[in-house]
Amino acid sequence: MGDWVAFWDSDHSIYVSACHRDVHFRTIADDIAAYVPSPAATLLDYGCGEALHAERIAAKVARLVLVEAAPRIRAKLADRFAHDPRIDVRAPDDLSAIAERSIDVIAMNSVTQYLTRPQLEAQFATFRRLLRADGLLLVGDVIPPDVSAVTDALALLRLASAHGFLLAAVGGLLRTLVSDYWRLRSRIGLSHYSEDEMAQRLAAAGFSAARAPANIGHNQARMTFLARSA
């Protein structure tokens, strides 16, 4: 996963415009916030990235824990939210210091594709330790085996058309073909899971899981799973 962390921590061009970046993070924040059970909840967002609209989640919870592996992004988040008592920025290694059964909702969106299967199993075990007995685990943006880069590109073009950055998206997709992202995706690949396999892996970690009606984010060819301790 280190190569992917380094990529996301670099000055990449995955977001084709400021509008794309804004819409991407706003959609994710709103989709995650919809699962908040009460204003007293603690929510942990694992692999939050730039979290441009984290305030939209923080407004609905008592505490928001943003967990990000990329050091430069994490430092920016810590600086940005230094004076917001609702928001706590952590590194993945910091999870060991969080009390057991203290989190109401854990969201891990668009991360499974960068983890090996053993890494995913270890992450699920950590999440089960942290979640309250009635807590909810959201595993979002899981890529099925039949979803290709072409499907992802078409989803981006539909999003761009709806929000007025279509030309930028076309240019961005062309740049992606010669970018570090494409070289990494070609060399390392992404992890794909069928609906059955992801449900089975969650069950093996002690969760009862089902696919959500809609995926977190704009790409509805991908999947989100709702899991609770079995």
Q: pLDDT tens-digit profile of 10-23?
A: 989 899 999 999 99
Mean pLDDT of 147-164: 96
Residue range 2-229, CATH number = 3.40.50.150
Residue 1 has pLDDT above 90, yes or no: no
pLDDT value of position 54 = 98
Full-prediction pTM beyond 0.85?
yes
Q: How far apart are CA 64 and CA 48, in angstroms?
A: 11
Mean pLDDT estimate for the chain: 96
Angle (CA) 54-164-170 rounded to 5° is 100
Q: How far apart are CA 80 and CA 58, in angstroms?
A: 14
Lowest mean pLDDT among 1-5, 67-71, 157-161, 168-172: 1-5
Residue 84 has pLDDT above 80, yes or no: yes
173-208 pLDDT, tens digit per residue, is 999 888 888 888 888 889 999 999 999 999 999 999
CA distance to 26, 41, 111, 201, 202, per residue, from 123 (Å): 25, 21, 11, 11, 11
Mean pLDDT of 64-70: 98
